[in-house]
Structure 1
Amino acid sequence: MSGGIHADTAPKPVGSYPHARRVGDLLLLSGIGPRIPGSDAIPGNRYDADGRLLHYDIVAQCHSVFANVRAVLEASGARWQDLVDVTVYLTDMAADFAAYNAVWQEYFPDPATAPCRTTLGITALPTPIAIELKCIAATGAGARR
C-alpha cells in the first residue's frame, strides 16, 4: 500500500486525510467536494450578511466537483477514464438529482463506458456544499482504457 497522495491543484482536505491512496492497481479517492482550490469558496453559494447560506447552484457545484476529482486523478497519475466506481452524496436529492444527472451525462455520455454509480441523499456534509463524490479508479494493466 502506498502513502497518501496530496494534489496541490485540488482543495485541501477538511480533515487529516489524503486526497487519495493507491492500493495495488486501485486508486481510492477520499470524499471530494466542489470547493475552489486555494480557497474555501464554494461555487454558486450565496450568503446573507450574517453568513447564512441563502442559495446554492447545484450545476456550478457539479462542474467544480468533477474538476476537483480530475485534479486528484491527474496528481495520482490516473485519468478520468480510469474511474470505475463513484458514490455521490447529495444534500437534497429531490431538488438536485435531475440537474446533477444532466451534468453527469455531459461528463459520461456513454453509459457503456461510464463508471458504476451510486447516489445517496444525505442531510448534511461537513461544509456548506450540496454534493460530494467518493471515487475508485483502476489504473493497472488490466484497467479499462
Structure 2
Amino acid sequence: MIAGGPRPVAPFSHAVEADGWVFLTGQMPTDPAAPDAPLPAGIEAQTRRVMENLRVVLGGLGLDLSHVIQCRCYLTEFERDYAAFNAVYQSFFPPDRRPARTTVGVTALAVGALVEIDMVARRPAEGAA
C-alpha cells in the first residue's frame, strides 16, 4: 500500500512488484484527500483523476509514467466517451513514448465510475540510464 494513495474500494494492494515488474491495481476517480466526496463529473475529469491517482501510486514506488509499459482501460460508456477519454489520456504521455494499451467497454465499475485504468510498469535495472 502507498502512503497517501487512494483508499482501496476492495481488498487489494495499490501495486505488487516481482522481479522489477510492477503491477498497479486499477484506480478509480476518487480523491485521495477526500475519498467519500462525489466523483468528478464527466469522463474528462474522471480520466484526469484516475491518471493522477496512478501517478501517486507510481511515485510512492519511486517510479513515474515513463516507466509504464502497458495500460488496460475500462469505460462504462465506450461509444460516448472513447474520443474524450483518449484526448485526456494521451496528454499524460509524450507521443513517442506511449505504452501499449487495451481499452474495453464494460457494463459497470466500482463506485459508479465511468473509467478505471490499471498499469504494468518496469523498474529500471540497477545502473541503467
TM-score under structure 2 normalisation?
0.91
Aligned to 1:48: none
Aligned to 1:91: 76
Residues 71 and 102 of structure 2 are in contact (CA less than 8 Å); yes or no, is this contact kept in structure 1?
A: yes
Q: Superposition RMSD on alpha carbons, in Å?
A: 1.6
Partner of 1:101: 86
Distance 1:135 1:73 in 2: 10
* Aligned partner (choices 23, 29, 39) of residue 28 of structure 1: 23
Q: One-letter code of the match for 1:25?
A: G
Residue 123 of structure 2: aligned partner: 139
Unmatched runs of 5 consecutive residues or more in structure 1: 1-5, 45-56
Structure number with the bigger relative contact order (C-alpha 8 A, sep ≥ 6) is 2
- Give the unaligned 5+ runs of structure 2: none
| Aligned-residue identity in percent | 35
Deviation at 1:109, TM superposition (A): 3.5
Q: How many residues align?
A: 126
Matched, 1:40 2:12: no
| Rg larger for | 1
In the alignment, the residues of structure 2 paired with residue 72 and residue 129 of structure 1 have an alpha-carbon distance, to the nearest angstrom, of 19
The reply to whether residue 11 of structure 1 matches residue 18 of structure 2 is no
TM-score (norm 1): 0.81
Larger CA deviation: 85-94 vs 11-20: 11-20
**What one-letter code is carried by the residue in structure 2 that aligns with 1:19?**
H
Contact 2:26 2:116 in 1 (8 A): yes
